[in-house]
Amino acid sequence: MRALKHFALALILTGCVAAVPAYAQAGENATLPLPPNPPPPGAGIPDFNGVWQMPYTPDLARRAAGGSIPFTPLGSDKFKTHLGGDDPHGFCQPTGPTRAFHSPFPFQIVQSAGMITVLYEIDHTFRRIFTDGRGHPTDQDITWYGDSTGKYSGNTLDVDTTGVSDRSWLDTAGHQHSDKLHVTEKFTKTGPDAFTWTVTYDDPVFFTKPWSVTLEAKRQKYDIMEMICTDNNQDMPHYITSKKP
C-alpha cells in the first residue's frame, strides 16, 4: 500500500499521470488466463511452452550485430529506394517466418513430439518447426513462411528455414530479401521465464555475408488475443505505394 502511494506521488511529480490511463487494469480480453501448457517436453529438451513476447523491433538494422547490414549493391539499392507504402504487411499479407517474432504482439509456443507450433498473435497465424529429424523438401515450393526444421542441443533449439518467398519483408523498416534467403534461429533458454533468440539472415543476393540480431523473449502473464489484420484495414487507400490496389 505504501509503495502504491509512493508510486502515485511519483506519477504526479513527474507529470506521468497525463501519459497513462487513470486505471491500471488492462481492457477487454487483455487479461485472459494463460492456456494450459502441454507436459514438459522431456529430459534434456528445453521447455519453450508458453506465451512470450520480444521487444518490438521495427528496424532490424538498429539491432544488427556489428551495427549495420552488409548489403550487396542490389540489396542496398532495394533498401534505399523502397517505398514504405509497399510493405506487404500494410496490405495484411503475411509477415514471413520471423518478422512476427519482433512485431508488437506476443506469441505462443507449443512443443509436441516431433514438432513445435508457434501461434503468432499478429494476423492470427501459425508456423510449424519440425523436430522429427526430417530435412527440407527436395524441389521445395517457395512459400510465405518457408519450411522450418529444428534440432535440440542442450538448452538450445536450432531452427533452419529455407524456401521463403521474396514477397515478405524482414521488418517494418523495409529490409527485403530474395527467395535464396536462408534463416537460422537459435532459441536459448536463459531461465524459466526468458530465452534469447538469435536470428541470422544469409542471402547472397541481398547480403555480402550473414548478419544477426539477438532479442530476448519474456514469458507473458496473459493469453494471446485475436488480431485479424483484414478486419478494418483503413490504411490501404492512403499508402504512397507502387502497388495497384
Partner 1 sequence: MKSPVLLCATLLLAAGSVALGHHSFAAEYDSSQPVQFKGTVTKLDWMNPHVYFYVDVTDKDGKVVHWACEAGNPNALARRGWKKSSLKAGDEISVQGFRAKDGTATMNARSITLSDGGKVFAASSDDGPVN
Task: Decide: is 194 part of the binding site for partner 1 (CB under 8 A).
Answer: no
Backbone angles phi and psi of 11, in degrees to 5:
-60, -45
Number of residues that bind partner 1 (CB under 8 A): 56
Please answer whether residues 176 and 164 qualify as being in contact, where contact means their C-beta atoms are separated by less than 8 angstroms: no
Q: What is the spatial distance between Cα 126 and Cα 11, in angstroms, rounded to a whole number?
A: 40
Judged by CB under 8 A, does residue 64 bind partner 1? Answer: no
Of 42, 84, 114, 154, the residue at the interface with partner 1 (CB under 8 A) is 84
Q: How far is CA 96 from CA 18, 54, 56, 129, 163, in A?
A: 38, 16, 16, 14, 11
Task: Count CB neighbours of 203 within 10 A.
Answer: 22
Q: How far is the CB of 85 from partner 1 (least distance, A)?
A: 4
Q: Does 197 bind partner 1 (CB under 8 A)?
A: no
Tell me if 192 contacts partner 1 by CB under 8 A.
no
Per-residue DSSP letters for 135-171? -PPTTPPPBSS-EEEEEEETTEEEEEEE-B-TTS-SS
List Cβ neighbours of 208 (8 Å cut-off, separation of 6 or more). Answer: 70, 71, 72
Give the residue, chosen from 42, 58, 135, 154, that forms a contact with partner 1 under the rule CB under 8 A. 58
**Does residue number 199 form part of the binding site for partner 1 (CB under 8 A)?**
no
Residue whose CB is less far from partner 1, 9 or 115: 9
In angstroms, rounded to a whole number, what is the distance separating the alpha carbons of residues 103 and 242? 24
Choices 36-44, 71-79, 191-199, 233-241 (CB under 8 A): range interacting with partner 1: 233-241
Could you tell me if 97 and 126 are in contact, meaning their C-beta atoms sit under 8 angstroms apart?
A: no
d(CA 229, CA 225): 12
The correct pick among 61, 110, 119, 229 for binding partner 1 (CB under 8 A) is 229
92 binds partner 1 (CB under 8 A): yes
Residue 83 interacting with partner 1 (CB under 8 A) = yes
Can residue 193 be called a binding residue for partner 1 (CB under 8 A)? no
List 1, 23, 139, 141, residue binding partner 1 (CB under 8 A): 23
Q: Establish if 87 lies at the interface with partner 1 (CB under 8 A).
A: yes
Which stretches of the chain bind partner 1, using CB under 8 A? Answer: 3, 6-7, 9-11, 14, 16, 18-30, 56, 58-59, 83-87, 89-90, 92, 103-105, 121-122, 172-174, 222, 225-229, 231-235, 237-241
